[in-house]
């Protein structure tokens, strides 16, 4: 028993994962306080508007994760080889080009706001404009976060997340209290991201202020970004498009109930997904050194599955208590669906481990699996949406199909029909 405990304490994945577990837990608590306050202060109807806007925020955030992972990968490689001058060029060049890229996207997005607002039955477009600003800032901040992740400065990375989330919560409560409704809730996110951009340069000061900067071939960086973008966007579409479609097919009150159920279910995702950021640079580093990576994948899946099972068990056993505690009596209609929703997002967490592993290993065949699952999900929701539980069942089924396909895709790592 002592030997096992010693091995656990010395496990590199456990140590790094522990930092992300603590950081993710604190961030998750703050995020849930945000949604609890917003749900109670806004009420189901206005919270339905915020929930539909948040679907776009999640999509944008994970699209920004593309640049996070790309910079993390190449930062880890350059850092591991002691090529500091090239590392400085990578970060500065990325910040310059991504700023231009995100500005262009922001302008294009503004042109489409009337169409998006019409589809989502929104009469006020202020929230959509703020979402665009969140997208602009998130993409730029992802460079900072990616560099910290690649250097394995996990404490700084998680500290920035805590600062961002704390400001989001405080500013949102103040502005919603002052009567700014869902727009005020979104402004809190803008303030939090701005803080990340300002503070995030401090832990990178040694790299960014070094005297020398050596150019590197950036074509490899951009080429790698394409599959990462697809792999980052497709899965998050699966758990955000449902909210947009619910806002389209159902009433605003039902959309608010669905958003509340989804945010409760995300406890499973946030609570079990803390290893995703920790394993990426480690797999990249091991691959570069020619070391075996399959054991790291298997351990990550086991740990994630354990947390998923525990979380789903708790959520399924006490749904009424959790709904009352978080959102109050106005949301009791979601009690029958939160456990099922939690299971769907638990499977999503497991899929995120598999996706992260394949991206780090530069194996892109899995993209077709995710795309197929997403297409089936969209078709299913469009055809079958009589009640809210139909949407969740389709989401769960699509995630199970994706997981099955991914496990087959990585069968060699599990020695299933492999060598």
> Which has the minimum average pLDDT: 83-97, 116-130, 134-148?
83-97
Give the mean pLDDT of the chain: 81
The pair of three-digit structure tokens given for residue 2, joined into one six-digit string? 């002592």
CA distance 226 to 229: 5
Q: Domain boundaries in the chain? A: 2-410
Query: Which two three-digit tokens encode residue 172?
Result: 């949102």
Contact, 41 vs 272, CB < 8 A?
A: no
CA 60 to chain centre: 9
What is the model's pLDDT at position 393? 93
pTM: 0.67
**Mean pLDDT comparison of 66-75, 110-119, 361-370, highest-scoring range:** 110-119
Mean pLDDT of 108-122: 87
pLDDT tens, residue by residue, 270-284: 766 667 767 777 787
What is the 3-state composition of the chain as percent helix, strand, coil, each rounded to the nearest 5?
85, 0, 15
Give whichever of 3-17, 189-203, 255-269, 333-347 has the largest mean pLDDT.
Answer: 333-347
For residue 3, what is the DSSP state?
Answer: H
What b-and-e string marks burial along 294-317, b requiring 16 or more CB atoms within 10 Å of the CB?
eebbebbbebbbebbeebbebbee
CA 367 → CA 62, 117, 358, distances in Å? 16, 30, 10
CA distance 333 to 412: 45
Q: Is 384 helix (H, G, I), strand (E, B) or coil?
A: coil
Output b/e per residue, 47-68; b: 16+ Cβ within 10 A. Answer: bbbbbbbbbbbbbbbbbbbbbb
Give the alpha-carbon dihedral of 155, 156, 160, 163, to 10 degrees: 70
pLDDT score, position 213: 58
CA atoms within 13 A on the CB side of 304: 28
CA 132, 348, 332 angle in degrees (round to 5)? 80
> In 151-274, which residue ranges form alpha helices assigned H by DSSP?
154-177, 181-199, 205-208, 219-238, 241-249, 252-272
By the 8 A CB rule, do 389 and 337 touch? Answer: yes
Question: Mind listing the pLDDT tens digit for each residue in 135-158?
Answer: 888 888 888 887 787 777 777 777
pLDDT in tens, 1-51: 455 444 544 455 555 556 666 766 788 788 878 888 888 888 888 888 887
Nearest of 337, 88, 69 to residue 206 by alpha carbon: 88
């Amino acid at each position: 028993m002592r030997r096992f405990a010693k091995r656990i304490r010395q496990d590199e994945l456990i140590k790094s994962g522990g930092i992300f577990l603590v950081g993710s837990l604190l961030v998750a608590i703050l995020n849930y306080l945000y949604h609890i306050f917003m749900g109670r202060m806004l009420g189901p109807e206005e919270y339905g508007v915020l929930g539909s806007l948040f679907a776009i925020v999640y999509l944008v955030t994970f699209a920004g994760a593309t640049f996070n992972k790309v910079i993390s990968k190449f930062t880890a490689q350059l850092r591991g080889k002691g090529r500091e001058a090239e590392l400085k060029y990578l970060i500065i060049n990325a910040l310059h080009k991504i700023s231009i890229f995100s500005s262009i996207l922001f302008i294009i997005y503004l042109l489409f706001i009337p169409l998006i607002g019409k589809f989502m039955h929104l009469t006020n477009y202020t929230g959509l404009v703020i979402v665009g600003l969140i997208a602009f800032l998130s993409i730029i901040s992802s460079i900072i976060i990616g560099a910290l992740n690649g250097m394995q400065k996990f404490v700084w990375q998680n500290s920035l997340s805590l600062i961002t989330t704390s400001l989001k919560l405080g500013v949102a409560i103040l502005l919603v209290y002052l009567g700014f409704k869902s727009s005020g809730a979104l402004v809190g996110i803008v303030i939090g991201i701005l803080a990340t951009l300002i503070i995030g340069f401090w832990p990178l000061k040694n790299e960014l202020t070094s005297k020398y900067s050596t150019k590197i071939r950036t074509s490899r960086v951009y080429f790698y970004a394409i599959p990462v973008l697809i792999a980052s966007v497709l899965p998050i579409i699966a758990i955000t498009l449902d909210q947009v479609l619910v806002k389209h097919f159902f009433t605003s009150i039902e959309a608010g109930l669905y958003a509340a159920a989804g945010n409760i279910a995300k406890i499973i995702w946030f609570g079990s997904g803390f290893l995703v950021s920790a394993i990426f640079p480690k797999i990249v580093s091991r691959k570069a050194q020619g070391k075996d990576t399959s054991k790291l994948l298997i351990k990550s899946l086991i740990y994630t599955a354990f947390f998923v099972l525990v979380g789903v068990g708790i959520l399924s056993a006490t749904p009424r208590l959790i709904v009352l505690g978080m959102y109050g009596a106005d949301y009791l209609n979601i009690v029958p669906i939160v456990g099922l929703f939690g299971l769907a997002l638990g499977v999503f967490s497991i899929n995120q481990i598999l996706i992260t592993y394949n991206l780090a290993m530069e194996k892109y065949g899995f993209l077709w699996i995710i795309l197929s699952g997403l297409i089936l999900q969209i078709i299913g929701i469009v055809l079958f949406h009589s009640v809210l539980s139909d949407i969740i069942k389709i989401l769960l089924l699509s995630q199970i199909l994706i997981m099955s396909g991914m496990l087959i895709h990585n069968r060699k790592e599990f020695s299933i029909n492999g060598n």
